[in-house]
């Protein structure tokens, strides 16, 4: 296992898959390295690739609003992605690309030891929770993954495309808020 500086350097220099050929920036992750809550997205989009930071586009603004609805701020959590480099034209990452990259996320999880993992969208949920995960059916449900309480929300980009999913997402956020109040020690949250 690498420590944070080693891991970030390895990731910045990574050539494990062909996504390195088309990236502008590696999007390693942001937030508190002592966070108790880890959000996991799919992979960088155009804005993230340009800025080197996850969730900085329109979807990112919505993610900030979603967290804000329960009093969570970006600085109080950690945000990472399944793949650290942008898939061209924002296509879904290939299985081979996920496999090439997942070791970085595993190392991030091992360093962070989060109490709670929140998957953003189906790609992250299928990788982290299980291949049979159905986002429309299973969003908001809690899973114990090696002792870490894990759930998935609709992806912010999906909510931008289909705002009818927002009311149920609000209920999922309230469930997340309850879980944070129940098991986290130092995560500031609305109550
Ligand atoms: N969508 C994601 O899944 N991750 C990002 O970082 C940005 C958009």
80 within some domain: yes
- The three state secondary structure string of 45-106 is CHHHHHHCCCCCCHHHHHHHHHHHCCCCCHHHCEEEECCCCCCHHHCCCCHHHHHHHHHHHH
pLDDT of residue 85: 98
The pocket around ligand 1, CB under 6 angstroms, is made up of 27, 41-45, 48, 54-55, 59, 81, 120
pLDDT of residue 55: 98
Instruction: For residue range 4-51, list pLDDT tens digits in order.
Output: 999 999 999 999 999 999 999 999 999 999 999 999 999 999 999 999
The 10 Å Cβ neighbour count of residue 98 is 20
How many structural domains does the chain have? 1
110 within some domain: yes
With 0-12 CB in 10 A as exposed, 13-18 as middle and 19+ as buried, what is 102?
A: middle
Q: Which atom in ligand 1 lies closest to the alpha carbon of residue 54?
A: 6
Classified as helix, coil or strand, 137 is helix
Q: Is the pLDDT of residue 160 over 90?
A: yes
pLDDT of residue 191: 86
189 within some domain: no
Q: Which atom in ligand 1 lies closest to the alpha carbon of residue 156?
A: 1
Given a contact cutoff of 8 angstroms between Cβ atoms, the answer to whether 122 and 98 are in contact is no
pTM of the complete model beyond 0.85: yes
Instruction: For residue range 103-138, list pLDDT tens digits in order.
Output: 999 999 999 999 999 999 999 999 999 999 999 999
pLDDT of residue 89: 96
188 within some domain: no
- CA atoms 110, 8, 130, 161: torsion sign: positive
pLDDT of residue 178: 98
127 within some domain: yes
- Range(s) of the domain holding residue 178: 4-182
CA 186 to centroid of ligand 1, rounded, Å? 26
97 within some domain: yes
Instruction: For residue range 49-102, list pLDDT tens digits in order.
Output: 999 999 999 999 999 999 999 999 999 999 999 999 999 999 999 999 999 999
Q: Which atom in ligand 1 lies closest to the alpha carbon of residue 56?
A: 7
Q: Is the pLDDT of residue 170 over 90?
A: yes
Count of positions (residues) in the chain: 191
pLDDT of residue 100: 98
75 within some domain: yes
User: The domain that contains 87 carries what CATH number?
Assistant: 3.40.470.10
Q: Which two tokens stand for residue 27?
A: 């999007």
Mean pLDDT of the chain: 98
């Amino acid at each position: 296992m690498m420590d944070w500086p080693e891991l970030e350097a390895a990731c910045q220099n990574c050539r494990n898959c062909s996504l390195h050929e088309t990236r502008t920036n590696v999007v390693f992750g942001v937030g508190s390295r002592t966070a108790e809550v880890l959000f996991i997205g799919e992979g960088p989009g155009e804005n993230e690739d340009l800025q080197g930071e996850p969730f900085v586009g329109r979807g990112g603004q919505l993610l900030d609003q979603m967290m804000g609805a329960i009093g969570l701020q970006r600085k109080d959590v950690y945000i990472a992605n399944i793949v650290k480099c942008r898939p061209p034209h924002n296509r879904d990452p290939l299985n081979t690309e996920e496999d090439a990259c997942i070791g970085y996320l595993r190392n991030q999880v091992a360093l962070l030891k989060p109490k709670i993992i929140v998957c953003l969208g189906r790609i992250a949920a299928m990788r982290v929770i299980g291949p049979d995960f159905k986002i429309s059916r299973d969003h908001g449900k809690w899973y114990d993954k090696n002792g870490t309480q894990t759930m998935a929300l609709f992806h912010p980009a999906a909510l931008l495309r289909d705002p009818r999913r927002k009311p149920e997402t609000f209920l999922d956020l309230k469930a997340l808020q309850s879980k944070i109040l129940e098991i986290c020690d130092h995560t500031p949250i609305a109550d």
